């Protein structure tokens, strides 16, 4: 059956990447909304904010001063969640009280010296500088740690406490829960079919076309068949690659171009800065033999009906399994139909 024909009937979809199911209930899109609405953060910000601890030349909370940087800037998080030189774990008291000490580090990655920008508003060349920072930081941390997690939380709804354009990179000597699931299920698929799960998947999505938002010779952005969040997307390479630091110059350029396409569409959906959490998953650094892995990035945005109405994961979702109303196919249609010119610059384009 064509996926769009599921638009009226409840059904479950399987995520082969993590082994979990999601309940799709498209008929619920007809219900009126009387729940909570979020406040929209003001869009007008200065290019430089003397109170911002990420702006060039400003003093951070720990008393250290940022350099007068231009472009990107990375530094160790002043309040990091992971620490180095954690003492070894003591003897296990009981299998019911199992714990594991973890060593690691956390860094802040400033995408621009401009306080008033987001990745969506930056030019592809500027986004490529951010990609170069991801690559350089990952390559360095990979020499010491097993797992490297690049991510960005955008917007107050996602808990971001500072609007300055930035992300983070955490590195640890343990494999966290979500990538451990992906490691297991990619390995199972590889052993069963002697091929890569995500390579097979991107080829199928490109053939069908229903859920593809944008693509170029190197990359594709899709709303995954098993998406949980209303406008969740998956960024997939169309070539074999396991680590972001293995990208060549042409692939970095094409990645910047496709990131621009999806981020502008996100902002254009409700003509407001679109919140999300995004992050890269690449092969663990140890052991080195990871033939079943394929690099990819997840985008998890919470918005559902407007810039002020978000999707909650509560009740049934917390106690049973994930659930969504809007089908991935309709979400893809909405995103695909949006212009590639940012709404803030739409009038400028019309005047040219």
Going from the C-alpha of 78 to that of each of 53, 155, 309, the distances in angstroms are 11, 21, 33
Angle at 148 between CA 144 and CA 151, to 5 degrees: 150
Going from the C-alpha of 279 to that of each of 46, 48, 120, 336, the distances in angstroms are 27, 27, 16, 22
Angle at 223 between CA 309 and CA 42, to 5 degrees: 35
The single residue of 166, 292, 296, 298 carrying the catalytic annotation is 166
- Helix residue ranges, H only, 13-123: none
DSSP structure string for 310-338? E----THHHHT-EEESS-HHHHHHHHHTS
Contact of 330 with 30, CB cutoff 8 Å = no
Show the tokens assigned to 279: 């992050």
Contact of 255 with 247, CB cutoff 8 Å = yes
Active site (annotated) includes residue 166: yes
Q: How buried is 209 (Cβ within 10 angstroms: 0-12 exposed, 13-18 middle, 19+ buried)? A: exposed
Q: Compute the distance between CA of residue 136 and CA of residue 131 in angstroms, rounded to an integer.
A: 9
- With b meaning 16 or more CB within 10 Å and e meaning fewer, what string describes 64-86? eebeeeeebbbeebeeeebeeee
Q: Compute the distance between CA of residue 19 and CA of residue 15 in angstroms, rounded to an integer.
A: 6
Contact of 173 with 103, CB cutoff 8 Å = yes
Going from the C-alpha of 130 to that of each of 45, 159, 260, 325, the distances in angstroms are 21, 22, 12, 34
- The catalytic site residues sit at 166
């Amino acid at each position: 059956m064509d996926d769009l024909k599921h638009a009226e009937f409840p059904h479950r979809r399987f995520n082969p990447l993590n082994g979990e199911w999601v309940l799709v209930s498209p008929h619920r899109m007809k219900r009126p909304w009387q729940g909570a609405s979020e406040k929209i953060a003001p869009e007008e910000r200065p290019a430089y904010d003397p109170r911002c601890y990420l702006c060039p030349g400003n003093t951070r909370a720990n008393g250290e001063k940022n350099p007068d940087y231009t472009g990107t800037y990375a530094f160790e998080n002043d309040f990091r969640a992971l620490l180095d030189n954690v003492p070894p774990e003591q003897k296990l008291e009981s299998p019911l009280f199992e714990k594991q000490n973890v060593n690691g580090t956390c860094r802040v990655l400033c995408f621009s010296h401009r306080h008033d920008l987001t990745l969506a508003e930056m030019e592809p060349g500027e986004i490529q500088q951010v990609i170069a920072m991801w690559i350089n930081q990952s390559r360095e941390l990979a020499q010491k740690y097993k797992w490297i997690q690049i991510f960005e939380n955008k917007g107050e709804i996602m808990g971001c406490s500072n609007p300055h354009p930035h992300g983070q990179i955490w590195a640890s000597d343990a494999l966290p829960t979500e990538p451990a699931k992906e490691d297991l299920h990619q390995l199972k698929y590889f052993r069963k079919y002697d091929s890569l799960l995500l390579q097979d998947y991107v080829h199928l999505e490109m053939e069908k076309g229903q859920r593809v938002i944008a693509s170029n010779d190197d990359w594709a952005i899709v709303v995954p068949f098993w998406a949980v969040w209303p406008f969740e997307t998956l960024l997939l390479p169309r070539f074999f690659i396991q680590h972001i630091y293995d990208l060549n110059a042409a692939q970095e350029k094409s990645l910047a171009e496709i990131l621009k396409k999806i981020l502008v569409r996100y902002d254009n959906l409700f003509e407001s800065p679109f919140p999300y959490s995004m992050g890269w998953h690449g092969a663990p650094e140890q052991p080195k033999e990871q033939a079943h892995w394929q690099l990819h990035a997840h985008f998890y945005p919470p918005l559902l009906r407007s810039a002020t109405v978000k999707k909650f994961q509560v009740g049934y979702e917390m106690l049973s399994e994930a659930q969504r109303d809007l089908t991935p196919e309709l979400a893809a249609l909405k995103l695909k139909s949006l212009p590639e010119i940012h709404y803030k610059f739409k009038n400028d384009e019309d005047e040219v």
